[in-house]
Homo-oligomer: A and B are copies of this chain.
């Protein structure tokens, strides 16, 4: 894989996602990160259940997650989520995310995920099969939009 892979999906911020400060309770952004990845999987004809069935992997568990919150969002906002994979490591991969509202970048972050299977009684990290990246590549679109905030800093 030479080209980075990317995928775009969308979410609506709901009333129940917001806290008494009237903005998204921040752990929900990680829910949307994860969900964007699940949408990518499904769009590629895959799913966590299928990965388990075919490869014995258990859920592509998260090793690390990060997010920078630039602009707040609230009830009713429509978010576009862009996921991007620069390259696959042998046993793990990193997905970069950008959540935008219109032309405005709200959140950027990433997850590192492992390819972990049950071998006997234990979980073991295993090499990612090439067809996994190929499946994601098939639905990859080169539409990471040129949304850039002038300065990479919060809005206050």
Q: Which residues of A approach B to under 8 Å, CB–CB? A: 12, 14-16, 18-23, 25-28, 30-31, 34-35, 38-39, 42, 47-49, 58-59, 61-69, 72, 74-76, 114, 116, 122-125, 154-156
Q: How far is the CB of A13 from chain B (nearest CB, A)?
A: 10
Q: Which residues of B contact A20 (CB under 8 A)?
A: 15, 18-22, 48-49, 59, 74-75
Chain B residues contacting A114 (CB-CB under 8 Å) are 154, 156
10 A-B pairs whose Cβ atoms sit less than 8 Å apart in the complex: A14-B35, A14-B38, A16-B31, A25-B34, A26-B34, A27-B28, A27-B30, A49-B74, A64-B68, A65-B69
Copies in the complex: 4
Which listed residue (B30, B124, B125) contacts A26, Cβ 8 A? B30
Cβ-closest chain B residue relative to A50: B76
Do A156 and B116 touch (CB < 8 A)? Answer: yes
Contact B35 A31 (CB under 8 A): no
Interchain CA distance A129-B86 in the complex, whole Å: 43
Kindly report which residue of chain B lies nearest to residue A66, judged by CB atoms.
B66
For the complex, give the distance between the alpha carbons of A12 and B21 in Å. Answer: 19
Residues in B with CB closer than 8 Å to A125 are 154, 156
| CB atoms of B123 and A156 under 8 A apart | yes
Q: A16-B27, A27-B27, A125-B154 are in contact. Are A61 and B67 (CB under 8 A)?
A: no
Query: In the complex, are the beta carbons of A75 and B154 less than 8 A apart?
Result: no
Docked complex Cα distance between A25 and B62 (Å): 9
CB of A116 to closest CB in B, whole Å: 5
